[in-house]
């Protein structure tokens, strides 16, 4: 039997209770988003563990003592974030030591690291920084390559406590390089990814399930399947909680799924749509240009978030005014006066203009009404025209998205990226076939 849920596949790892304590008034006041939950939750999920609870509390020492006592009593692993800094707000270390009945000891090794770090950066160290040199008497130190406060690791009462610094650029590498391997060694999480993930686009969750079910049924209850839908994409996670299927067998089943899905299959693993498009462009040595109205730079930004984007990304235009469309992209005035800016004709002209102006092999144009104002009877708010220019030609598509402005923008960008991806895959397959025909290798 195949179990289906939006959650995490259950795993062969004995069920242990994981809890995340995120500390900080700025989280409770909504000044900062709780990115630690997103990061740690997804990292543990990949290793077959779902967090049981996340509790966010204030920096108040009494609150910390009260909450930590409860969390420690009911969990096997407690991870805390924040509160390890040098200021007087940072009382977490002391509060937790009290609950654990542990002494805090001054560690000259940590002291040296902090002093050296300040010297290297040419900054003056204030004495309160040495507060960060205290560690639990019975515990380990997790060195911090990107900041002054090290992480702390304690094993006590058959449980694990792991305290991490708040800044994401310090916490994230520490979690991946030091915490996950320690948890895996002790059998608390899988040593590798707990599942094989297929990423799909352009197909709904129920259609996906219907298409793959006969394949899943062949493996009975040895196979566990979970679906996760997000922003026009559905991920499918295959695992074998009983370990009756090996990793190689899971990968083989995933490959069969990919073949069945054809172009709806995006990739194995966790790559984003812009990353997948970028890899396809780089592999075929193609360049890309973009032209946007409604999405206003979001599409360009998705590509330029990728380090090394200049290898394939020629550039983009955000053309709000009609004049800018004519000036930057050579859109003929007639098209704008006859069809309007929100039209298939304009989308095609913008894509063509971007490709020609930037000498790019491919170009995407997006125009439309993102709302909440604008729109007309033929093209109400939420109407989006996407055009794709490629060495094979140029086409446009009309789409419609309900929802607020930010949702329309994200959905339009994802739809455009998925179309580009399909076109690049199709072209890659065609080129390979052609090459095989050309060299007489046709099977």
Residues numbered 404 to 433 that lie near a second copy (CB under 8 A) are: 404-407
Q: How far apart are CA 368 and CA 370, in angstroms?
A: 6
Q: Which is nearest to 13 in space by CA: 240, 302, 342? A: 240
Structure tokens at 169: 């650029």
**Which of 102, 304, 375, 425 contacts a second copy by CB under 8 A?**
304
Q: In this chain, which stretch among 96-104, 202-210, 239-247, 291-299 interacts with a second copy, using CB under 8 A?
A: 291-299
Residue 55 makes contact with a second copy by CB under 8 A = yes
Q: Which is nearer to a second copy, 220 or 380 (CB)?
A: 380
For a second copy, which residue of 323, 333, 334, 434 counts as binding (CB under 8 A)?
323
What's the token pair of residue 102? 């542990």
The answer to whether residue 48 forms part of the interface with a second copy (CB under 8 A) is no
Minimal distance, residue 11 CB to a second copy, in Å:
13
Q: Is 33 in the site for a second copy (CB under 8 A)?
A: yes
Q: What is the gyration radius of the CA atoms in the chain, in angstroms?
A: 27
Contact 272, 421 (CB under 8 A): no
Q: What ranges make up the beta strands (E) of 41-124?
A: 53-57, 77-81, 104-106
The phi and psi torsions of 287 (rounded to 5 degrees) equal: -115, 160
Residue 25 makes contact with a second copy by CB under 8 A: yes
Question: 60 and 30 in contact (C-beta within 8 Å)?
Answer: no
Per CB under 8 A, which region of 209-217, 276-284, 303-311, 423-431 contacts a second copy?
303-311
In contact, 94 and 64? CB cutoff 8 Å: no
CA dihedral for 245, 250, 251, 255, sign (positive or negative) = positive
Residues in contact with a second copy, shown as a per-residue x/- string from 199 to 238 under the rule CB under 8 A? -----------------------------x-x--------
Pairing status of strand 151-156 against strand 159-164 = antiparallel
SS3 category, 211: helix
Binding residues with a second copy: total (CB under 8 A): 78
Nearer to a second copy (CB atom), residue 29 or residue 378: 29
Binding of a second copy by 375 (CB under 8 A): no
Among 305, 333, 334, 434, binds a second copy (CB under 8 A): 305
- Per the CB < 8 A criterion, the answer to whether 115 and 125 are in contact is yes
Which residues are CB-neighbours of 112 under 8 A, at least 6 positions away?
none
User: 284 or 324: whose CB is closer to a second copy?
Assistant: 324
Q: Applying CB under 8 A, which part among 197-205, 296-304, 391-399, 422-430 lies near a second copy? A: 296-304
Segment near a second copy (CB under 8 A); pick from 179-187, 275-283, 387-395, 397-405: 397-405
Q: Which stretch binds a second copy (CB under 8 A): 35-43, 101-109, 177-185, 246-254?
A: 35-43
> Counting every residue, how long is the chain?
443
């Amino acid at each position: 039997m195949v179990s289906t849920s939006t959650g995490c596949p259950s795993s062969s790892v004995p069920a242990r209770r994981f809890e995340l304590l995120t500390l900080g008034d700025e989280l409770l006041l909504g000044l900062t988003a709780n990115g630690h939950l997103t990061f740690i939750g997804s990292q543990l999920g990949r290793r077959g563990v779902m967090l049981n609870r996340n509790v966010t509390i204030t920096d108040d020492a009494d609150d910390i003592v009260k909450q930590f006592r409860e969390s420690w009593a009911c969990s096997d692993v407690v991870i805390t974030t924040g509160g390890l800094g040098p200021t007087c707000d940072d009382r977490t270390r002391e509060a937790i030591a009290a609950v654990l009945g542990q002494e805090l000891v001054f560690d000259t090794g940590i002291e040296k690291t902090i002093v050296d770090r300040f010297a290297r950066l040419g900054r003056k160290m204030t004495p309160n920084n040495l507060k960060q040199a205290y560690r639990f008497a019975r515990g380990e130190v997790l060195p911090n390559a990107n900041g002054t406060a090290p992480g702390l690791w304690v094993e006590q009462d058959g449980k694990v406590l792991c305290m991490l610094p708040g800044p994401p650029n310090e916490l994230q590498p520490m979690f991946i390089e030091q915490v996950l391997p320690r948890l895996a060694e002790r059998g608390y999480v899988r040593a590798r990814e707990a599942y094989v993930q297929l990423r799909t686009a352009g197909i709904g969750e129920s259609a996906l399930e219907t298409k793959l079910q006969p394949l899943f049924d062949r493996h009975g209850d040895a196979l566990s399947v979970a679906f996760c839908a997000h922003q026009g994409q559905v991920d499918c996670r295959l695992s074998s909680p009983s370990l009756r299927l090996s990793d190689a067998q899971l990968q083989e089943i995933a490959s069969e799924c990919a073949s069945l899905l054809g172009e709806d299959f995006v990739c194995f693993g966790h790559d984003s749509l812009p990353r997948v498009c970028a890899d396809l462009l780089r592999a075929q040595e193609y360049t890309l240009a973009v032209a946007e109205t409604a999405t206003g730079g979001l599409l360009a930004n998705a590509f330029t978030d990728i380090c090394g984007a200049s290898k394939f990304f020629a550039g983009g235009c955000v053309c709000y005014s009609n004049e800018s469309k004519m000036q930057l992209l050579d859109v003929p005035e007639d098209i704008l006066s006859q069809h309007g800016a929100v039209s298939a004709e304009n989308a095609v002209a913008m894509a063509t203009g971007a490709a020609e102006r930037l000498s790019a092999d491919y170009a995407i144009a997006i125009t439309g009404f993102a709302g909440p104002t604008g729109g007309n009877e033929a093209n109400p708010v939420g109407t989006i025209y996407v055009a794709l220019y490629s060495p094979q030609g140029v086409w446009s598509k009309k789409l419609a998205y309900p929802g607020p402005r930010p949702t329309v923008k994200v959905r339009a960008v994802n739809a455009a990226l998925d179309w580009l991806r399909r076109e690049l895959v199709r072209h890659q397959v065609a080129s390979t076939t052609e090459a095989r025909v050309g060299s007489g290798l046709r099977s």
